Chain A
């Protein structure tokens, strides 16, 4: 098996010129918290973690599985983690961490760049715009703190839920503990717009 791909958090500003600094310095702290403090606590000094990526490219229906190493050297802030665990609810922290995963994977596997991230309601929903091959798209993101089901069914259900919700664009779902794969798991897939029916054919059908 080929060497796993390395995805460094510090590469975010390069990958996303417009929002990368925010992704690294603001939301990135939440991602590091989810990767090495909660739900699983890694040994002191850990600066990377293996993650499984399930990527369904544009035009495909089957996911390709990749093993990647996510690194956060120099970006673990223990004081932030201590405070954030008390100051923010778990959902908001998980969603913010999931944004970072979406940013890493959409850049690595689809060449996309995140332009805007705006949190909407108080339940961790975000409005995210992506610049993908000159066609801006929406990105639906969901974070799962821990999927302890033996087959990863919680994560799969979240992907399906998001796929139904989005008319066209990307869906990214990250489970920070994923029992089925034994490591965090992040799914990225593209939802194609439904084929538009020709107006005449639709009329004929009605008759």
Chain B
């Protein structure tokens, strides 16, 4: 009755609905904007009306919109101007609990306190507790970091499809930041360590279903290498197909991304694994041709040495302990990098 009069076109309802959906989708920036719009409409309505019960109900509703949008300071300002004596009995009860919640969230120590609780839950492997804390407090980190944390929590708890989706969100929200691209691509390797090799292969496949980057194609290629080593030729064909896709799409990356050292190293590792696979599947000549392409790509880090070793070594690459060791080193390095972020949430929260 009250809202219909001050907002006949239901603009506050439209905005709040969009805010609700944005929060469901983890887009806290859009949620903040939409809930802010709804709060503004209701607060303006409160200023217009002369009736004390209407004014105070509208203030309560406005404050709740700012709260849902994570604007706790603004919510607190409106809460302080709301007089509960004018609210209905049931609204008064809700309002008192709401006021307490808003005051806690507007407190200067709020973010650090909740971040600490999430970190503790995470490190004690209370994954569901960490997920629930982030549900209740989605604004304690910016949205790309929030998406990344959810991706990792889903990955370690075996919710692989959700992990793939949230990691795609992290890439999108970060503007395809190179650090996020490489973390996403490394997730299956970290998953391999915390769960199983089968999970790693499945997660790599799922990454390909949700906004894959060339680096994801590369990971999906590399995770098949143990099967190739065990003689699975079909896996080798798929490994090379995925590698070709990565190589074809690599030029589409931004210049900053394409020149990132970690990303170049990972691409070099993909070349290395592809060369070994081509050797097994298509013969030494085809492998050497691919090695030439790898050298032309411009080896990064210690891959210049690795490629030289391959070029100089005419022996059986698959049997060479040195080559086997090198084949493992790339994933181990990337896995270490990703694991560091698995174990240290909020490393980039600021």
Contact = CB atoms under 8 A, between A and B. Distances in A.
A108 B295 CA distance: 70
Contact of A119 (B1, B20, B162): B20
Contacts of B64: 118-121
Interface in B90-134: 90-91, 94, 97-98, 101, 131-132
Given A26-B21, A82-B162, A88-B23, A119 B131 contact: no
B166 interface: yes
B95 to A, nearest CB: 8
B151 to A, nearest CB: 10
A96 B42 CA distance: 20
A89 B2 CA distance: 29
Contact of B13 (A82, A116, A123): A116
Nearest to A125: B94
A116 B18 contact: no
Interface string B1-21: 111100101101110111011
Contacts of B270: none
A88 B17 contact: no
Contacts of B169: 83
A85 B25 contact: no
Contact of A19 (B13, B26, B65): B13
Contacts of A118: 3, 12-13, 16, 38, 42, 61, 64-65
Nearest to B210: A79
A21 B38 CA distance: 16
Contacts of B17: 19, 22-23, 25-27, 117
Interface centre among B20, B64, B65, B166 (most CB of A within 10 A): B20
A122 B132 CA distance: 13
A120 B61 contact: yes
Contacts of A120: 60-61, 64, 91, 94, 98
Contacts of B4: 115-116, 129, 131, 136
Interface string A147-190: 00000000000000000010000000000000000000000000
Interface string B153-192: 1100001011001100100000000000000000000000
Interface string A188-207: 00000000000000000000
Contacts, number: 121
A68 interface: no
Contact of B25 (A87, A123, A136): A87
A82 B60 contact: no
Interface string B55-84: 000001100110110000000000000000
B131 A86 contact: yes
A89 B135 CA distance: 6
Given A122-B101, A129-B4, A136-B4, A83 B166 contact: yes
Contacts of A84: 24-25
A113 to B, nearest CB: 11
Interface string A101-122: 0000000000000011111111
B136 interface: yes
A115 B3 CA distance: 9
Nearest to A82: B162
Contacts of A119: 16, 20, 64, 68
28 contacts: A18-B9, A19-B10, A19-B14, A19-B17, A22-B13, A22-B18, A26-B18, A29-B21, A82-B159, A82-B162, A82-B165, A85-B162, A87-B24, A87-B26, A87-B135, A87-B138, A88-B23, A88-B135, A115-B3, A116-B12, A120-B98, A121-B64, A122-B67, A122-B68, A123-B97, A127-B61, A136-B1, A136-B4
Interface of A: 18-19, 21-23, 25-27, 29-30, 79-80, 82-89, 93, 96, 115-123, 125, 127, 129, 131, 136, 138, 165
